[in-house]
Amino acid sequence: MSNKILVTYATRSGSTAGVAEAIGKTLADSGAQVDVRPMQDVKDLTPYQAVVAGSAIQDGKWLPEAMRFLDTNQVALAQKPFAAFLVCMTLAMKNAVNHRVVEDWLEPVRARVKPVSEGFFAGTLDINRIPSLRQRIMYRISVALGVWDVGDHRDWNAIHRWASSLVAQFNR
């Protein structure tokens, strides 16, 4: 096994891919060898010393392809340091009371593989990139009601801080 770290992700509109790229860059800047890949492109975890996996959230859940990745690789992931993150618009909601439910959305992940660290990040809201007409309408109504704003809500400093903390977690 090498000292390479895999950062892998499942995304719908690209926001989670951007978070994964930022995590990968932070890890690489700390001296690690890093591959950043969509989950569907990952076939073998053997070359990696550690894995960081993240998914966009849809209806309070990791995306189906992300859950398939965990199911397919559960044994391999349990044998190496594993960190998980999610990206969701709930964390961009103006009413912070709604933020409390987000940690529960990683419970199905924890049931498969226990992460050494968990990251929770807001995403971006670009209504034109939402594939479902029903969801586009729902988001437009929510924006009109002031639930959240259109735009990029990712906190790059928080993402980089979390990624930096993984170096110590992975070297234990």
Residue 48 has a pLDDT of: 96
Name residues of the chain where pLDDT drops below 50.
1
Q: How many CA atoms lie within 13 A of 49 on its CB side?
A: 14
Residue 161 has a pLDDT of: 96
**Number of continuous H segments (helices) and E segments (strands) in the chain:** 5, 8
According to CATH, what is the number of the domain 4-170?
A: 3.40.50.360
Q: Which of 134, 159, 137, 165 is nearest to 16 (CA)?
A: 159
Global confidence as pTM:
0.91
Q: Where are the domains of the chain?
A: 4-170
Residue 2 has a pLDDT of: 60
Q: Which two tokens stand for residue 140?
A: 């437009």
Residue 130 has a pLDDT of: 80
How far is 72 from 143, CA to CA, in rounded Å? 38
Residue 1 has a pLDDT of: 42
